Amino acid sequence: MITESDNQRLTSVTAGTPGGELLRRYWYPIATAGEMRDSWTKRVRLLGEDLVLYRDRSGRMGLIGEFCPHRRASMAYGIPAIDGIRCPYHGWKFDTTGACIEQPNEPEGSTFKDKVSLPGYAVGELGGLIWGYLGPQPAPLIPKLDGFVVEPAIRMIGHSLVPCNWLQIMENSCDPVHTEWLHGHLQEFVEEQRDGIKPSFAISKHHVAIAFDEFEYGLYKRRLYEGQSEDADDWKVGHPVFFPNLLAVGMRRDGSRTYSFQIRVPIDDTNTMHYWYNAYAVTADVDVPKHMLEEVTRYEVPTRKENGDFRVEMLDAQDVMAWVTQGPIAKRELEKLGTTDRGVIMFRKMLEREIAKVEAGQDPMGTIREPEKNTVIDLHVEYDKSMMSDGIASRLYRAQAQFYPHVKDLVAVLEAAQTKARAERPLTTAR
Ligand code: FES
Ligand SMILES: [Fe+2]
């Protein structure tokens, strides 16, 4: 049973709170590399802090507090310098650590600048993304998950600002049976209303067993559907939550392999930036348009219609609908948990345990400091996902990927890769 104060302890993301201090031990994506090539600054709100990511004229990136300590103008309109950025209002200059290094209109020899500064945080780059870290130094390494480093790959990142606390989103990733209803029976109902018939694909398969296993970096969840053998990948392998805020799924098709990460970045207590990061590694020898391989394509995922209703005919918007309708911060003290909620309970216990570690001055789960442990972190996922076994195009168009600007090219590439791989397969294993 969770009390109101337990709930606050687990869900608060701001500095000085138990949850907020834990979350400050991890790196978060805050921009794509392409965005920061096209512009000098980007406003970033992260863990309740208003920040500006900027690039100086020597190419270094800084993540500093948004409001100038002089008279509080926004550094998002700053003027980049060789060694920092100047406030647009009176030209005070700050370096990437947030130190004030020049005040052009103060008398020569003044030491006033040494007394003022902005918060300044660590910035890194991985997988075509720029990452920020707001915790104590020395910062750990950014975990090199397989999908961030696999090459060559077609990479894309969809984003949507979700107006609720990050934890209810993560709890959804520890709740396998929701797929049966939210993506199954609800989908069937929506399509039945729209088309007069139920859809032919069925992801409403009933779960006969679910299981959760903790591993070094988080938690694996597994499921067994009615009629499935225990040899099925869904049950034997499953897929992981990489603690605390990333869900990894993926699949292997003939000619390609998909690495999919859902990254939940806490903006503040009641807002989360949701990222869908996909890397498609094409293994068959087919032509991939060059622009698709060059950098991560960023796009917005609209989860609501113009009238404000969620697009419940789209798989990813079904999840967002469930998260948001639980409220800005779900009132866990009012819940009545059932037997299938044991993954949710397990995740909360892990969170509580890791908060206690940080309070005791230790590194929490997922802190990686040794480069040799971080060459590539291979996340094993079920290759043969029975829930997603329909065709390439219908799979992509049913989900958030429909908003990827090059989705048609992607379908064409994956289908060509599939055809080629199947044609080249030795006859003995042909299907
Ligand atoms: S407000 Fe920034 S220098 Fe004056
Ligand atoms: Fe879901």
Strand 297-300: give its sheet, edge to edge.
207-215, 218-225, 239-242, 246-253, 256-268, 271-282, 154-162, 297-300
Q: Who surrounds ion ligand 2 at CB < 5 A? A: 319
Closest by CA to 239, choosing from 254, 259, 256, is 259
Kindly state the DSSP code that residue 179 receives in the 8-state scheme: H
Q: Is the CB of 68 under 6 A from ligand 1?
A: yes
CA angle 155, 387, 235 (to 5 degrees): 100
| Domains of the chain, start order | 27-133 (2.102.10.10), 146-429 (3.90.380)
Closest ligand 1 atom, residue 68 Cα: 2
Q: Region 4-8: what's the mean pLDDT? A: 97
- Give the separation between CA 7 and CA 270, rounded to whole angstroms: 13
The answer to whether the beta carbons of residues 25 and 367 sit under 8 Å apart is: yes
Atom 1 in ligand 1: residue holding the nearest Cα:
71
Rounded-to-integer distance, Cα 96 and Cα 120, Å: 6
Kindly give the distance from the C-alpha atom of residue 331 to the centroid of ligand 2, in angstroms, as a whole number: 20
Ligand 1 neighbourhood includes 87 CB (under 6 angstroms): yes
DSSP 37: H
Say yes or no: CB of residue 89 within 6 Å of ligand 1: yes
- What's residue 251's pLDDT? 87
Report pTM: 0.96
Q: What is the dihedral of CA 132, 259, 145, 236, to 10 degrees?
A: 130
pLDDT digit string, tens, across residues 34-82: 999 989 999 999 999 999 999 999 999 999 999 999 999 999 999 999 9
The residue whose CA is least distant from atom 4 of ligand 1 is 90
Q: CA-CA-CA-CA torsion for 99, 104, 107, 108, nearest 10 degrees?
A: 80
Residue 161: the pLDDT is 98
CA pair distance 365, 243, nearest whole angstrom: 7
Residue 388: is its pLDDT beyond 60? no
Q: Which residues contact 30 (CB under 8 A, 6 or more apart)?
A: 42, 44, 46, 53, 63, 130, 131, 132, 265
- Which element (helix H / strand E) includes 149? helix 146-149
Ligand 1 pocket mutation, candidates 68, 102, 105, 117, criterion most atoms within 8 A of CB: 68
Least confident of 136-145, 181-190, 353-362: 181-190
Cα–Cα distance measured from residue 385 to residue 156, given in angstroms and rounded to the nearest whole number: 21
N residues, the chain: 431
In angstroms, the Cα distances linking 138 to 121, 141, 367, 368 are 11, 9, 11, 11
CA of 214 to the centre of ligand 2 (A): 20
Q: How confident is the model at residue 1 (pLDDT cuts 50, 70, 90)?
A: confident
Q: Structure tokens of 424? A: 């080249």
pLDDT greater than 80 at residue 425: no
Give the ligand whose atoms come closest to the C-alpha of residue 323: 2
